[in-house]
């Protein structure tokens, strides 16, 4: 998460049932990467997928344009 430079909330699957069950909508923005990693390790369905990690970039979720730019 730290390598990506993205906000921690970007790693959370906000459209998933676990996200809603845990009522993370209000907490996600203030959550540290350590807190988010701990939650994700307990509830794997919280991790937004796909997660692509290369040497120079981390992509979270699927964006055709971002994937295209990465492989060019």
Cα–Cα distance, 21 to 29 (Å, whole number): 17
pLDDT tens digits along 1-19: 888 899 999 999 999 999 9
The whole-number average pLDDT for the span 26-45 is 94
Residue 58 sits at φ, ψ, to 5 deg, of -125, 125
Q: Report whether pLDDT(27) > 80.
A: yes
Mean pLDDT over all residues of the chain?
92
Instruction: Show the tokens assigned to 32.
Output: 């540290």
Share above pLDDT 90 across residues of the chain, in percent, rounded to a whole number: 69
d(CA 63, CA 30): 25
pLDDT value for 65: 93
Architecture per CATH, 8-71: 3-Layer(aba) Sandwich (3.40)
Domain segments of the chain: what residues?
A: 8-71
């Amino acid at each position: 998460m730290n390598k990506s430079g993205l906000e921690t909330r970007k790693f959370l699957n906000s459209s998933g049932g676990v996200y809603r069950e845990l009522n993370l909508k209000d907490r996600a923005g203030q959550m540290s990467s350590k807190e988010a990693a701990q939650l994700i390790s307990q509830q794997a369905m919280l991790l937004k997928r796909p997660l692509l990690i290369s040497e120079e970039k981390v992509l979270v979720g699927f964006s055709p344009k971002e994937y295209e730019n990465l492989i060019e």
